């Protein structure tokens, strides 16, 4: 609880919100990058270029390329 010495909880002033209008980082993903890519798209092997459809609920960086075994990335 605040005791008048600056040790209380953080306030809810400008810059603490989530939308663009309040000065927050609106529209960004959990890790500070772009918003999530959504359910569509492909997983791509950065080594050989092999593509497979992205499966909902299974991140591409947890899949191995069926051709060469390299961890895949999202396109």
CATH of domain 37-75: 2.20.28
Q: What is the CA radius of gyration of the chain?
A: 20
Residues 2-46 pLDDT 10s: 667 767 677 666 665 555 554 544 554 555 444 566 678 999 999
Q: How far apart are CA 38 and CA 45, in angstroms?
A: 19
* Sheet with 73-74, edge to edge strand ranges: 51-53, 42-44, 73-74
Residues 40-75 pLDDT 10s: 899 999 999 999 999 999 999 999 999 999 999 998
């Amino acid at each position: 609880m605040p005791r008048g010495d600056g040790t209380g909880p953080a306030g809810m002033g400008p810059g603490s919100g989530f939308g663009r209008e309040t000065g927050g980082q609106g529209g960004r993903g959990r890790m500070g990058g772009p918003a999530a890519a959504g359910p569509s798209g492909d997983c791509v092997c950065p080594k050989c270029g092999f593509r497979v459809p992205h499966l909902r609920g299974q991140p591409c960086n947890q899949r191995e390329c069926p051709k060469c075994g390299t961890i895949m990335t999202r396109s």
